[in-house]
Chains A and B, each alone.
Chain A
Amino acid sequence: MQLQPYATTGQKIWHYTFLTIAGGGLLFLVLPILVIIPLSFNSTSFLSYPLSGFSFRWYEEVFTSDVWVNAIQNSLMIGAASAFFATVLGTLAAMGLTRTDFRGKGAVNALLVSPMIVPIVISALGLYFFFAELGLNATYTGLILAHTALGAPFVVITVTATLQGFDNNMIRAAASLGANPVTVFFTVVLPLILPGVVSGALFAFATSFDEVVVVLFSAGPEQRTLPRQMFDGIKENITPAIMAAATLLIVFAFALLTVLEYLRRRSEKLNGAS
C-alpha cells in the first residue's frame, strides 16, 4: 500500500480517499465495541459521556444479584455441556467423513452442516414444536440438545479442515506396531488434530454462549441465560449493568480470539512439519 514516489496529484488524492474510507470502516467496526466499555464503570446510571465518576458498582450488581449470577451459571453450564457433546459427535463424524468416499456423502455432509445455514428462528420454531411433544420445553436437557445440534457443524468443519493435512500412514504405523484403534486415536490422532478439535469446541461453546432465539422460544424462567438476560434488559430498561455484562463478554471474545489465533498458527506449524 505504498504510494509511488512518481504518483500524480490525482493518484495521491485517490490514495488518501481510499485510506480514509478503509480506515473509517475499520473504526466503524471496532469503535462501538470499545466505546461502551468505559460506560460500565460510570458511577451513575447515565449511558453517555462525560462519565460522572469511576465505580465498580455495576460489576458488583452483575456478580452479586441472583438474576445475573443465575444467568451466568446457566450460560456456562449449557455452553460447556453442549460444547462437549458437539465436540465428541462432531470429531467422530469429521473422522468418518475424511476417511473414505461413499455414495451420498454430499447429502450427509449437507445435513450435518445444515443447522448452520437455516435461519435460527426456523430452527427455534421447529424445536419448540418438537420439544412440546416430548415435554422438553423449559428444561436444561432441551436447551443442551438444541445447542449441541447448533454447535456441532462448527466442530465438523474445523476438525475436517485439520484432518485434510493429516498423514494416514501414522495410523497404519501405530496399528502395525500393535496399538488398538482406541489407543491409536488417543495417542497418535488426537494430539495431532487437537488444535482443530479445540477450535471446534470453542466455536461450539461460543455458539451456545451467544444463542438467544432458541432460549426465547424454549427456555423457562429457570433456564434464563446471559444473552436472554441482556435481551430483556435492552428491551425494557438498558442500564450500565448490561454494559458491565457486555464488557465481560468482550473480554471473553478477546480471549477466544487470542486462543484461536494461537491454535491456527500451531496447526499450521504442525501441518508444515508433517
Chain B
Amino acid sequence: MDQAPALTASQSDVLPQEENGLPLKVKLRRAERMKKIRAMALIAPLFIFTLLIFAIPIGIMLVRSIDNPEVVSYLPNTKVELDKWSGEGMPPQTLTAIFATDLVQAYHDKTAATVGKRLNYDVSGMRSLIMRTARKFKSHVPVDATLDTFVKADKRWKQEKYWNALKRASGSLTPFYLLSAVDKKIDDKGDIVNVSEGQAIYVNIFWRTIWIAGVVTVISLLLGFPIAYLLANTSSKVSNTLMFCVLLPFWTSLLVRTSAWVVLLQKNGIVNSSLMNLGLIDEPLTLLFARPGVYIGFIHLLLPFVILPLYSVMKSISPGYMRAAESLGAHPAVAFVRVYLPQTLPGIGAGGVLAFILAIGYYITPALIGGPQDQMLSYFIANHANSTLNWGLASALGMILLGSTLILFTIYNRLTGASGVKMG
C-alpha cells in the first residue's frame, strides 16, 4: 500500500506533465501526426498534378476503349426503340419510323457521318448506306417509315446484318473495340467469333511486337554482358573513359541516334559502302526500312539500359570467388558458369526486363527505320489516333500495351526491389 504513491512520483519524473496537462505520449503522437501532415502537404502538389495530367488522361483512354456514344447521342429516339427490339429477324415498324426521323435530324445536325463511320467499323459499307439513305430521306421526310421505305431508299436494308449492326452499336458501352484489338467480333447471333482472315491483324502485330522486343533484348544482353564485365574489371581510369562510350549515346537525343542510323544504313550509306569496299558484299544490303535496321537501331538504344544495371551488379562481385573456384581446380569456363554467372543474374534480370519494357513501347525508332512489316503496337496506336481517327481502337490497343507493360514492370520491381540493382 505504501508503494503506490512512490510509484506515481517516479512516473511523474519520467513523464513530466506540462502546464496544459497533456502527457508526453499524447504530445509525441500529436507531433508525429503534424509531421505526417506536413510531409503529405509537401507531396500533395505533385500528387494532384500527376493525378490530373497523367492518371486522368489514361483513365479517359481506358473509358474510350469501351465508350460507344455515337448512336446513343445522335440517334437518341432510335436507341430507345432499339433497346425494345429483340434483335431477331427484321425490325418492327415502330423502330423504322423513328429511325427515319432520327436519321434526317442527324443529317441536318451533320452527325450522320459520325454514326455512319462508327457502324462502318463493324460492317463495312455501312457508312455509305447510312449517308445514302439519309440523303434520300431529307427531301421528303418519310412519315411512319416502314422497312419497305428503307429498302426503297437502298436495297441493302433487306439484309439482317445491317439492322443487327445498328442494334449492336446501341449500347452506351461496347466491347467492340477491345474485341477488335484481339481480332474478335460479335456476330449476328451474339457469339464472340474470330474476324475474317483478311481483317485479323492485331494478334499478329502483338506477337510481332513481343518477338522484336525479345530478339533485341537477348542480343543486347549478349553484347552488353562483356561490355559491362570489361567496365567493371579494369582500372577506374580506363573504365571512366570507356563509360563515356556508354553514357554519351545514353544522353544523346533519340532523334539524333535514329537519324544517324538512317544515314548509316541507307542503300548508298556508310555501312553498305564500307562493306563493299572491304569486299565483304557485292551489292548493297537492304538494311533501312527493313527488319535488320530495326534490330540494329533498337540494340543501340537499349544497350546502355542493359549495361548500367549489369555493371552495378558486377562491381559488387568480389574477384575472390572466381579465384577460389579456380584454385580449387575448376576450369575457368566452369567457374564462370557456376560461380560468376549466377551472381550476375539480378543484373541480367533487371536489365533484360527493363530493355524489354522499353522495346515494346518505343514508337519513334521503328516508325523511322522500319518498313510496313516492322511496325509494332505503338505505331498502330498512333496511326489510329492521328490518321484513321478510330480512337476507340487506338485506346483498346493502348490498353493491351499498357497491360503488358504493367505486368512486366511488376516483375521488374520484384527483381530490383529484392536485390537493390541500381541504374548508373
Task: Report if A249-B46 is in contact (Cβ < 8 Å); known contacts: A30-B248, A119-B405.
Answer: no
In contact, B264 and A127 (Cβ under 8 angstroms):
no
Q: What A residues does B264 contact at CB under 8 A?
A: 32, 35-36
Closest CB in chain B relative to A233 CB, distance in Å: 8
A81 at the interface (CB under 8 A from B): no
Closest CB in chain B relative to A147 CB, distance in Å: 10
Task: Report if A149-B269 is in contact (Cβ < 8 Å); known contacts: A21-B223, A25-B227, A30-B245.
Answer: no
In contact, B35 and A99 (Cβ under 8 angstroms):
yes
Q: Which of A1-43 contact B (CB under 8 A)?
A: 1, 11, 14, 18-19, 21-23, 25-30, 32-33, 35-36, 39
Q: What B residues does A233 contact at CB under 8 A?
A: 259
Contact with A along B204-234 (1 / 0, CB 8 A): 0000000000000000000110110110011
In contact, A119 and B360 (Cβ under 8 angstroms):
yes
Known contacts A97-B43, A125-B395; 8 additional CB pairs below 8 A are A25-B223, A25-B303, A93-B45, A130-B56, A213-B363, A217-B382, A249-B255, A250-B252
Q: What B residues does A234 contact at CB under 8 A?
A: 255, 258-259, 262, 368
Q: What B residues does A32 contact at CB under 8 A?
A: 257, 260-261, 264, 300
Q: Pick 12 A–B contacts, CB within 8 A, sort by A.
A: A1-B230, A30-B244, A30-B249, A114-B55, A117-B405, A118-B58, A119-B363, A125-B385, A149-B49, A152-B50, A217-B382, A249-B255
A interface residues, tally (CB under 8 Å): 81
In contact, A92 and B263 (Cβ under 8 angstroms):
no
Question: A246 touches which one: B47, B244, B259 (CB < 8 A)?
Answer: B259
In contact, B361 and A231 (Cβ under 8 angstroms):
no
Q: What A residues does B395 contact at CB under 8 A?
A: 125
In contact, B46 and A126 (Cβ under 8 angstroms):
no
Nearest CB in chain B to that of A97: its residue = B43
- Chain B: interface residue count, which band? 35 or more
In the assembled complex, the Cα of A218 lies from the Cα of B252 at a distance in Å of 24
Q: What B residues does A156 contact at CB under 8 A?
A: 46
B343 at the interface (CB under 8 A from A): no
A47 at the interface (CB under 8 A from B): yes
Question: B378 touches which one: A121, A146, A212, A246 (CB < 8 A)?
Answer: A121
Q: Which of B34-59 contact A (CB under 8 A)?
A: 35-36, 38-47, 49-51, 53-59
Q: Which of B241-273 contact A (CB under 8 A)?
A: 242, 244-249, 251-264, 266, 268-270, 273
In the assembled complex, the Cα of A14 lies from the Cα of B248 at a distance in Å of 29
In the assembled complex, the Cα of A233 lies from the Cα of B255 at a distance in Å of 10
Question: B394 touches which one: A123, A125, A152 (CB < 8 A)?
Answer: A125
Closest CB in chain B relative to A205 CB, distance in Å: 12
In the assembled complex, the Cα of A262 lies from the Cα of B38 at a distance in Å of 33
| Chain B interface (Cβ < 8 Å from any Cβ of A) | 32, 35-36, 38-47, 49-51, 53-61, 64, 223-224, 226-227, 229-230, 233-234, 242, 244-249, 251-264, 266, 268-270, 273, 300, 303-304, 332, 357, 360-364, 368, 378, 381-382, 385-386, 391, 394-395, 398, 401-402, 405, 409
Interface-facing stretch out of A61-69, A190-198, A235-243:
A235-243
In contact, A119 and B45 (Cβ under 8 angstroms):
no
In contact, A119 and B54 (Cβ under 8 angstroms):
no
Q: What A residues does B44 contact at CB under 8 A?
A: 96
Nearest CB in chain A to that of B229: its residue = A22
In the assembled complex, the Cα of A119 lies from the Cα of B50 at a distance in Å of 16
Interface-facing stretch out of A52-60, A251-259, A266-274:
A251-259
In contact, A227 and B47 (Cβ under 8 angstroms):
no
In the assembled complex, the Cα of A209 lies from the Cα of B56 at a distance in Å of 24
Task: Report if A47-B53 is in contact (Cβ < 8 Å); known contacts: A234-B259, A257-B251.
Answer: no
Q: What A residues does B363 contact at CB under 8 A?
A: 119-121, 213
Closest CB in chain A relative to B402 CB, distance in Å: 5
In the assembled complex, the Cα of A213 lies from the Cα of B364 at a distance in Å of 8
Q: What B residues does A210 contact at CB under 8 A?
A: 253-255
A173 at the interface (CB under 8 A from B): no
| Chain A interface (Cβ < 8 Å from any Cβ of B) | 1, 11, 14, 18-19, 21-23, 25-30, 32-33, 35-36, 39, 47-49, 89-90, 92-93, 95-97, 99-100, 102, 108, 111-112, 114-115, 117-130, 133, 145-146, 148-149, 152, 156, 206, 209-210, 212-213, 216-217, 227, 230-231, 233-235, 238, 242-243, 246, 249-250, 253-254, 256-257
In the assembled complex, the Cα of A33 lies from the Cα of B38 at a distance in Å of 47
Nearest CB in chain B to that of A252: its residue = B253
Task: Report if A256-B259 is in contact (Cβ < 8 Å); known contacts: A28-B300, A35-B270, A122-B402.
Answer: no
Closest CB in chain B relative to A22 CB, distance in Å: 4
Task: Report if A93-B43 is in contact (Cβ < 8 Å); known contacts: A111-B50, A125-B385, A125-B398.
Answer: yes
Q: What B residues does A119 contact at CB under 8 A?
A: 360-363, 378, 401-402, 405
In the assembled complex, the Cα of A124 lies from the Cα of B57 at a distance in Å of 9
In contact, B252 and A120 (Cβ under 8 angstroms):
no
Which 3 pairs, one residue from A and one from B, show the smallest C-beta to C-beta distance? A119-B361, A96-B42, A126-B57
In contact, A99 and B248 (Cβ under 8 angstroms):
no
Q: What B residues does A49 contact at CB under 8 A?
A: 270, 273
Question: A249 touches which one: B51, B61, B256 (CB < 8 A)?
Answer: B256
Question: A39 touches which one: B254, B258, B263 (CB < 8 A)?
Answer: B263
In contact, A26 and B245 (Cβ under 8 angstroms):
yes
In contact, B39 and A253 (Cβ under 8 angstroms):
no
Question: B54 touches which one: A102, A114, A133, A235 (CB < 8 A)?
Answer: A114
In contact, B47 and A112 (Cβ under 8 angstroms):
yes
In the assembled complex, the Cα of A154 lies from the Cα of B94 at a distance in Å of 61
In contact, A257 and B247 (Cβ under 8 angstroms):
yes
Q: What A residues does B61 contact at CB under 8 A?
A: 122, 125-126, 129
In contact, A22 and B226 (Cβ under 8 angstroms):
yes
In contact, B36 and A102 (Cβ under 8 angstroms):
yes
Q: What B residues does A114 contact at CB under 8 A?
A: 50, 54-55
In the assembled complex, the Cα of A22 lies from the Cα of B332 at a distance in Å of 19
Q: What A residues does B257 contact at CB under 8 A?
A: 32-33
Q: What B residues does A217 contact at CB under 8 A?
A: 382, 385-386
In contact, A112 and B253 (Cβ under 8 angstroms):
no
In contact, A112 and B50 (Cβ under 8 angstroms):
yes
In contact, A93 and B401 (Cβ under 8 angstroms):
no
Closest CB in chain B relative to A185 CB, distance in Å: 10
